[in-house]
């Protein structure tokens, strides 16, 4: 619901409703007060004429005319009374003398005991000293007030209902469109530049934004494809000569083993090792590029975690015996939606790094834990860990943890693992245990099968 309040349609509908309601209230008040003033003027004139007509009659006929006027008042809006100079009641339906006004010839508002409504009153002193009071309750004003008030409330209610329905309908569509855009951009942010945002067919600013975003995505996809093609060509063009160079150096080493001394053989051995390292780096870079160029969710399926456990144990158990390192695998009964081959490669990389950098006698643990909507794959060891300087750099390409070990490596670090995690939408967490290192792949909503 909070998202609706943030949309332009809802805010504009709310502002339009407030402005319209204010205009209607002002209009209603204006109509009411103008009509009220007209009615008061007309009734004041009628009251004044009535009083003048009655007061011109002799006292007995005046009282009779007053009583007839009050008796024949079927609407019960006329009030009158005659009082002597001392305020004693003489005739009429007003039995208590009203408060005297300083202006005896002008109508004024008065409240009289026993009469629930405020009336317009005229007071006139007669020649014999008596006082004539005559007033009218302008019932039409109250009726008009009720009609205008009811009509205004009804109009405001229908306006609020209409504006609310229109605002909510348009806002819900806008929020739904924005959520669709957010979902697609989330997929795009993970590297799938083939995605496009569909046209919202609303002929509004969102469609214009979508059009520009799609144009930008086309350009990014084109540039990314060109970069991938260039990297592939460079790797291929360098990879082949290096393979041939390795073959040549290998032949030279074999010949030199007969005709040269130990120093020359060591130099050739170093050269051969360096070329082998370069080839491994090229292979790793090609693998990373291949992973990152894949479409998200392609080649993925549901499989049981025990399948990964069995494959990993089969590979590393002999290596554990050979190196004197204890290797434990803790699994749970759960499924995961992923590319089995790539996930196996990522776990293999993590476990291999632990074996590579942990001294003999260390303990390496691979943990599979699965809950309702979350799967954790954790590789941890109790080795020497990494330094604080290397903590933020170990997933960068060509970065290696400087653990002081005499261990060869490609320098690719956790780049392949990071690429696999990005492709799957997994979270990669690295924690320095001091001693030891903990690397976790966290799969949120791992039982979710996407529709794309």
Statement: residue 145 has pLDDT above 50? yes
Q: Which CATH number describes the domain made up of 301-444?
A: 3.30.565.10
Point out the least confidently predicted range of 38-42, 309-313, 388-392, 417-421. 388-392
Bridging pattern class, strands 131-136 and 78-83: antiparallel
Statement: residue 172 has pLDDT above 80? no
Q: Which overall architecture, per CATH, does domain 2-142 show?
A: 2-Layer Sandwich (3.30)
The secondary structure of 309-329 as a DSSP string is HHHHHHHHHHHHHHHT-EEEE
Per cent of the chain over pLDDT 90 is: 2
Q: pLDDT tens for residues 341-376?
A: 888 888 888 888 888 888 888 899 998 887 777 888
H/E stretch holding 81 reads strand 78-83
Point out the least confidently predicted range of 198-212, 310-324, 359-373. 198-212
- The torsion angle over the Cα atoms of residues 379, 382, 383 and 388, rounded to 10 degrees, is 80
Q: pLDDT tens for residues 272-315?
A: 777 777 777 677 666 666 666 665 556 678 888 888 888 888 88
Statement: residue 227 has pLDDT above 60? yes
Q: pLDDT tens for residues 423-448?
A: 777 888 888 888 888 889 888 765 44
CB atoms closer than 10 angstroms to residue 310:
13
Statement: residue 128 has pLDDT above 60? yes
Mean pLDDT over 90-99 rounds to 85
Q: Give the DSSP letter of residue 96.
A: S
Statement: residue 407 has pLDDT above 70? no
The widest CA-to-CA distance across the chain, in whole angstroms, is: 161
Per cent of the chain over pLDDT 70 is: 80
Q: Domain residues of the chain, as ranges?
A: 2-142, 205-292, 301-444
Burial class (CB in 10 A: 0-12, 13-18, 19+), 231: middle
Q: pLDDT tens for residues 8-21?
A: 667 777 888 888 88
Averaged confidence pLDDT in the chain: 78
Query: Residue 295: CA atoms inside 13 Å, Cβ hemisphere, count?
Result: 6
Statement: residue 125 has pLDDT above 80? yes
Q: pLDDT value at position 26?
A: 92
Q: What is the pTM of this model?
A: 0.49
Statement: residue 327 has pLDDT above 70? yes
Statement: residue 219 has pLDDT above 80? yes
| 3-state SS assignment for residue 152 | helix
Q: pLDDT value at position 85?
A: 83
Bridging pattern class, strands 108-110 and 89-92: unpaired
Q: pLDDT value at position 389?
A: 66
Mean pLDDT over 333-340 rounds to 80
Q: Do domains 2-142 and 301-444 have the same CATH topology?
A: no
Q: How confident is the model at residue 191 (pLDDT cuts 50, 70, 90)?
A: low
């Amino acid at each position: 619901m909070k998202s609706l309040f943030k949309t332009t349609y809802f805010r504009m509908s709310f502002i339009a409703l407030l402005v319209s309601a204010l205009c209607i209230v002002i209009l209603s008040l204006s109509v009411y007060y103008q009509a009220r003033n007209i009615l008061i003027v007309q009734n004041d004139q009628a009251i004044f004429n009535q009083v003048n007509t009655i007061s011109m009659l002799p006292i007995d006929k005046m009282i009779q005319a007053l009583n007839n006027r009050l008796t024949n008042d079927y609407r019960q809006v006329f009030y009158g009374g005659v009082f002597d100079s001392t305020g004693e009641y003489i005739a009429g339906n007003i039995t208590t003398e009203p408060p005297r006004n300083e202006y005896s010839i002008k109508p004024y508002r008065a409240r009289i005991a026993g009469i629930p409504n405020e009336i317009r009153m005229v007071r006139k002193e007669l020649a014999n000293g008596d006082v004539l009071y005559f007033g009218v309750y302008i019932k039409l004003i109250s009726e008009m007030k009720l009609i205008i008030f009811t009509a205004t409330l009804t109009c405001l209610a229908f306006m609020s209902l209409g504006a609310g329905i229109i605002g909510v309908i348009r806002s819900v569509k806008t929020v739904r469109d924005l959520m669709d855009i957010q979902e697609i951009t989330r997929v795009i942010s993970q590297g799938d530049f083939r995605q496009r945002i569909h046209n919202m067919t609303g002929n509004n600013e969102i469609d214009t934004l979508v059009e520009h975003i799609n144009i930008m995505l086309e350009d990014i996809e084109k540039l990314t494809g060109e970069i991938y093609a260039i990297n592939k060509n460079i790797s291929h063009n360098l990879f082949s000569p290096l393979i041939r160079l390795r073959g040549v150096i290998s032949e030279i080493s074999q010949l030199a083993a007969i005709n040269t001394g130990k120093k020359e053989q060591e130099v050739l051995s170093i050269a051969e090792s360096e070329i082998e390292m370069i080839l491994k780096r090229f292979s790793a870079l090609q693998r990373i590029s291949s992973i990152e160029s894949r479409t998200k969710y392609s080649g993925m399926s549901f499989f049981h975690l025990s399948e990964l456990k069995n494959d990993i144990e089969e590979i590393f158990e002999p290596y554990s015996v050979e190196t004197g390192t204890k290797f434990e695998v803790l699994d749970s009964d759960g499924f995961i939606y992923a590319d089995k081959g790539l996930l196996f490669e990522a776990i293999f990389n993590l476990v291999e790094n632990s074996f590579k950098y942990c001294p003999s006698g260390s303990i390496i643990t691979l943990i599979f834990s699965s809950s309702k909507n979350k799967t954790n794959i954790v590789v941890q060891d109790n080795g020497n860990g990494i330094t604080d300087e290397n903590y933020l750099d170990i997933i960068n390409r060509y970065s290696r943890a400087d653990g002081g070990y005499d261990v060869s490596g490609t320098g690719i670090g956790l780049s392949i693992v990071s690429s696999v995690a990005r492709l799957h939408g997994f979270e990669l967490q690295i924690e320095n245990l001091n001693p030891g290192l903990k690397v976790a792949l966290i799969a949120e909503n791992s039982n979710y099968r996407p529709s794309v």
